[in-house]
Structure 1
Amino acid sequence: MAVSLQVIYPISEGTTFDYSYYTTTHFDLVGEHMGEHIETMFVTKGLAGGPDTPPGIYAVATLVFENQDALNASMAAAPPVLADIANFTNVQPQMLIGEVIS
């Protein structure tokens, strides 16, 4: 069964997020270290939290894996990717690992 890893970067007062660095340098690191295990990856940039409501999230990265073993292998290769987070944001990201049901 396919599983996903979502990395969520919430907005709060005093936080910053460098989209340019994130979409270039950080994505390159993800591909280099974790890419062989990822089936699909996409990122959603927060634009709004509803009508006339600013976004509460900078971005959500969704990585889809064939199965739990592929996710585990990807996470074992992730330390350089995780270490890079401080280079584009001061946000403490949240993670959600889940079963892909649709």
Structure 2
Amino acid sequence: MSVSLQVIYPIKDGTTFNYDYYVETHLPLVGEHMGKYIQSTLVTKGVAGGPNVPPGIYAIATIVFADKQAMDAALGAAGPVLADIPNFTNSEPQMLIGDVIG
């Protein structure tokens, strides 16, 4: 069964997020270190939390793996990716790991 890893970057007072760095440097770093284990990725930039509501999230990165073993291997190679996070945000990322059901 496919599994997904979602990395969620919440907006809180005093936090920042550098989208240019994230797209131009961090995402290629993900590909370099974890790419051979990844089935697909989707990154969504938060633009609103609803009609006339500011976003509560900078971005959500969804990474899909063929199975738990592939995800575990990717996470084992993720050291440089995790170390890079402070280079584009001071937001505390949240993670959700789940089974892909739809």
Query: Normalising by structure 2, what TM-score?
Result: 0.99
What percentage of aligned pairs have identical amino acids?
66
User: What is the letter of the counterpart of residue 35 of structure 1?
Assistant: G
C-alpha separation in 1, matches of 2:48 and 2:42: 18
What do the CA deviations read for 1:32-57 (whole angstroms, capped 9, x no partner)? 00000000001000010000000000
Q: How many residues matched?
A: 102
Instruction: Tell me how large the CA RMSD over aligned residues is.
Output: 0.3
Q: Is 1:24 the counterpart of 2:6 in the alignment?
A: no
Q: Is 1:37 the counterpart of 2:10 in the alignment?
A: no
User: What is the letter of the counterpart of residue 21 of structure 2?
Assistant: Y
C-alpha separation in 1, matches of 2:62 and 2:69: 17
Alpha-carbon distance, 1:20 to partner: 0.1
Q: How does 1:1-102 map to 2 (within 5 A)?
A: 1-102=1-102
Query: Normalising by structure 1, what TM-score?
Result: 0.99
Give secondary structure in 2 for the equivalent of 1:39: strand
Gaps of 5+ in 2: none
Give the ranges of 4+ consecutive aligned residues of structure 1 lying more than 3 Å apart after TM superposition. Answer: none
